[in-house]
Amino acid sequence: MKVLVVGSGGREHALAWKIAQSPLVSEVASAPGNPGMASLGPVFAVSPTDVAGQVALARRLKAGLVVVGPDAAVALGLADALIDAGIPVFAPTAAAGRVESSKSFTKALAARQGIPTAPFEVFTDEASAHAGLNAFTPPYVIKADGLAAGKGVVIATERAEAEMALGEMFGGRFGAAGARVVVEGFLEGEEVSLFALSDGDSVMAFGSAQDHKRAYEGDRGPNTGGMGSYAPAPSFSSDLEAEAMNRIVRPAIEGLAEEATPYRGVLYAGLMLTRSGPQLVEFNARFGDPETQVLMMRLESDIVPYLLACACGGLAELPPPRWRPQLVICVVLAARGYPEEPRTGGSITLPAAFEPGVTVFQAGTALDDGRLIASGGRVLNVCALGDSLIEARDKAHRAIDQIDFVDGVHRRDIGWRALASVATPR
């Protein structure tokens, strides 16, 4: 079977890498892909948001499965178009994908289904939002309703800052995404990303990880797509996972099925582990990046039967996935200046080989006259498997030392929280 992977980031490279290992797969094509993905199979210059172009490509390739990476393609209805064309697709429809593309939709779903989440209020005009702040105490959490490339959330410690954020959102800073604003209570705790698969009917936990969203060491600086990740998360026990599946993920999938928008694909639950248990921060209608990189390194089972079951049904007949016992760390190498003004164009030289247990997934890379260069903010994902987190981290750092990347930067403290908890067991 031929599989088409839609996207070009580290997440998609990791998925393509894992899919390519399946005995069920004869070819892994990607669109648009990246030079790393090109080493696994053919790449085609079709944008993830070119819905008609992707459908035409999948038809031409006679793809037996299309795996969609990015949220923008989900929101534009790529899955709907592929379903109409009779092509199996691993991604939710645009209607089910509203769990990510509309925060107010998700909050309403959570309220209906009794899913633990921060108390909230939805506003459609600035004056009522200002007045509505009275019902909340600082820090204020203010979110543009729609997709805003990870920049639509403001956490304001002062009321004036909260009012300024409301002014910007209603003033059109995020376009239509900010015409509706969610104000919610602040949740305190550690964040975990939990992934669950569904074929619209049954649900299965599919791994968890933690990521580092801030640009600089010590979890400081601007928010990014993610500067690194690790799995498993020591603070997320199997009991907590079961609680999150039962109280958050299952009720959401059931609610969506009842509303005639069954969810098929991966549901990414962003959780806050609060003192009163896991609470929902947000849902995403796709895999996480860079969480997927560590999940794919740890996944022992063939992923393809799971992806196909989400697309075509039959998930309930599959056993839970098997995971390697090892721990994995992923360190993102970014272009200097990321996220504000990444300096692209820096040349990259990779060594002929890394030590066993190291895999580098590419993201913002391109070939310039046969030379590998940086072409985006997040450029490489250096992932290492170890018997301990310390071993994994040290291996990742040794691999980074083998890479010559002009104007590349990375955080040296990925996994610090987990490493600290290993050093001082609770």
Report the alpha-carbon distance of residue 395 to residue 373 in Å, rounded. Answer: 24
- Strand blocks (E) in 217-352: 220-231, 264-274, 277-284, 327-335, 348-349
Nearest CB to ligand GLY, comparing residues 162 and 295: 295
**Is 316 in contact with 237 (CB distance < 8 Å)?**
no
314: region left, alpha or beta (phi > 0 left; psi from -120 to 50 alpha): left
List the one residue from 22, 284, 293, 362 that touches ligand GLY (CB under 6 A). Answer: 284
Which residue, 118 or 414, has its beta carbon nearer to ligand AMP?
118
Of residues 80 and 289, the one with the C-beta less far from ligand GLY: 289
Binding to ligand AMP, residues 169-188 (CB under 6 A): 184, 186-187
Tokens representing residue 113 in the block: 């289904």
Residue 298 to residue 325: CA distance in whole angstroms: 8
Among 145, 184, 241, 291, binds ligand GLY (CB under 6 A): 291
Structural tokens at position 292:
């997927």
List binders of ligand AMP among 387-416 (CB under 6 A): none
Q: How far is the CB of 163 from ligand GLY (least distance, A)?
A: 27
By CB under 6 A, residue 12 contacts ligand GLY: no
- Distance between CA atoms of residues 235 and 287, nearest Å: 21
Query: Which is nearer to ligand AMP, 187 or 329 (by Cβ)?
Result: 187
Q: Give the start-end residues of each E strand in 244-312.
A: 264-274, 277-284
Rounded Cα–Cα distance for residues 32 and 149 (Å): 19
Largest CA distance in the chain: 61
Q: Which is nearer to ligand AMP, 108 or 153 (CB)?
A: 153
CB of 213 to ligand AMP, least distance (A): 6
Residue 386: φ, ψ to 5°: -145, 165
Please report, as residue ranges, which positions from 167 to 226 form the binding site for ligand GLY (by CB under 6 A).
211, 226
Q: How far is the CB of 150 from ligand AMP (least distance, A)?
A: 6
CB of 24 or CB of 155, closer to ligand AMP: 155
Applying the rule CB under 6 A, the residues between 250 and 289 that interact with ligand AMP are 270, 281-282
> What one-letter code names the amino acid at 114?
G
Which residues contact ligand AMP by CB under 6 A? 118, 141, 143, 153, 155, 184, 186-187, 191, 213, 270, 281-282
Which residues contact ligand GLY by CB under 6 A? 211, 226, 284, 288-289, 291
